[in-house]
Amino acid sequence: MTLPVSRDYPQSLADQLDRVLAQMPEPSGGPAVGQLEHALAEAFHVPHAIAVSSGTEALHAALSACGIGQGDEVLVPALSVVMTVAPLAALGATPVFVDSEPATLDIDYDDAARKITPRTRAILPVHLWGRMGDPAALTAFASEHDLVIIEDAAQAVGSSRDERAAGTIGAIGCFSMKDGKIVWSGEGGFLLTDRRDLAEHAVAFRSHWQPAPSGQASLSRLATNSRLAAPLAAIALANVHRLEELVLLRRAQTRHLLHTLRPVPGLTVLAPAADEHWNAFSPLLRVDLPGARTFTEHLAKQGVPNSTGSFRLVPCDTRPMFPRQDRPCRGAAQILDRTLAILLTERDTVATLDRYAAVITREATTWAG
């Protein structure tokens, strides 16, 4: 077994960085961010890609561009991370957590429909672990209730379903390039949109409203600084050039690990839907062992990093900073209590994956809860 790793990459990364460093300091920022945005727009076949300093800031700019603010309610899966929710709370909007279906990980649209009020403005699906819900169900729900769709596709670079790429279904798709995501630059993020007005708003928002959107004056509104620094844009550009390779590598890593684990009792591979072209962000297994969550925490201590065990990922509606809702999201809780989602990076070799598989097999076989 060998993994598909590119050889010329370190050189192209060093070349990109050298070029940018030779131009610094450059108060205007130089051309690196524009080049990255051009490459992103081409890679995703969209008219506008805007680079920002993080995935959180991509969501912040996107929500602002869609006019989300004080008093607005935004439907967001409880099966998400706080980084999804913090930007909408920062804009004065209220997150309304919706449940997910344990069998598919998709949004529970019956629950979402129950939670619609006259203040509901947007739905913010989160493609956690790169898995995508049904795009047709999402767009039908949004149009029935007149909601704008903003996607959190931070983990979903390279995923598509029914021929629709994650991050290109809604009005805006938001991505992170923090190390740990498939396309990385240390820190960073970007958003994609078809709409010029939303793109112009995001460009203004990330840089204290300059340049301002068409027809508006520069600095006529308060915004923030969420610009991506040129050296990080250079790293990101080198990685966007091998985006397909990075996704193929992740798929090969996940396939190898899941294949090695298949016969372990108490662990079942969570397969994507038939029409889903999954980026394989995290090898996913359902844990049917007693004390499943304690088992994932135990694996983390044994050197197998994973979402629930290493990061204590819990449904967002149970976090202390949000007021308790009438209906707890039980599906999301069930998913997070029972899913082993292994964290990978492109550095993980066959030897690393085999070590993870050996530890998981050994611990699952002897686990009594």
Ligand X SMILES: *Cc1c(COP(=O)(O)O)cnc(C)c1O
- The single-letter DSSP state of residue 172 is E
Q: Is 126 in the site for ligand X (CB under 6 A)?
A: yes
For 76-128, what is the HEC assignment? Answer: EECCCCHHHHHHHHHCCCEEEEECECCCCCCECHHHHHHCCCCCEEEECCECH
Q: Is 167 in the site for ligand X (CB under 6 A)?
A: no
Sheet containing strand 164-165, edge to edge, reads 164-165, 160-161, 276-277
Contact assessment for residue 329 and residue 78, using Cβ atoms and an 8 Å cutoff = yes
Where do we find the tokens 């997070």?
Answer: 336
Residue 181 Cβ vs ligand X, minimum distance, rounded to whole Å = 6
Q: Which of 83, 89, 243, 350 binds ligand X (CB under 6 A)?
A: 83
Residue 23 Cβ vs ligand X, minimum distance, rounded to whole Å = 25
Considering beta carbons, is residue 193 or 307 the nearer one to ligand X?
A: 307
Q: Which of 133, 167, 189, 315 binds ligand X (CB under 6 A)?
A: 189
- Select the residue whose beta carbon is closest to ligand X and give its number: 55
Q: Is 339 in the site for ligand X (CB under 6 A)?
A: no
Q: Is 185 in the site for ligand X (CB under 6 A)?
A: no
Q: Is 306 in the site for ligand X (CB under 6 A)?
A: no
Q: Which of 63, 142, 154, 299 binds ligand X (CB under 6 A)?
A: 154
Residue 82 Cβ vs ligand X, minimum distance, rounded to whole Å = 9
For residues 107 and 343, give the distance between their C-alpha atoms in angstroms, rounded to a whole number: 23
Residue 55 Cβ vs ligand X, minimum distance, rounded to whole Å = 2
Q: Is 226 in the site for ligand X (CB under 6 A)?
A: no
Question: 217 CB contacts (<8 Å, ≥6 apart)?
Answer: none
Considering beta carbons, is residue 176 or 260 the nearer one to ligand X?
A: 176
Q: Which of 16, 35, 84, 254 binds ligand X (CB under 6 A)?
A: 84
Q: Is 155 in the site for ligand X (CB under 6 A)?
A: yes
Question: Strands, DSSP E only, in the chain?
Answer: 48-52, 73-77, 94-98, 120-123, 148-152, 160-161, 164-165, 172-176, 189-193, 267-269, 276-277, 284-287, 339-341
DSSP character string of 1-17: ------SSHHHHHHHHH
Residue 54 Cβ vs ligand X, minimum distance, rounded to whole Å = 3
Interface residues toward ligand X, by CB under 6 A: 54-56, 81, 83-84, 126, 128, 152, 154-155, 176, 178, 189
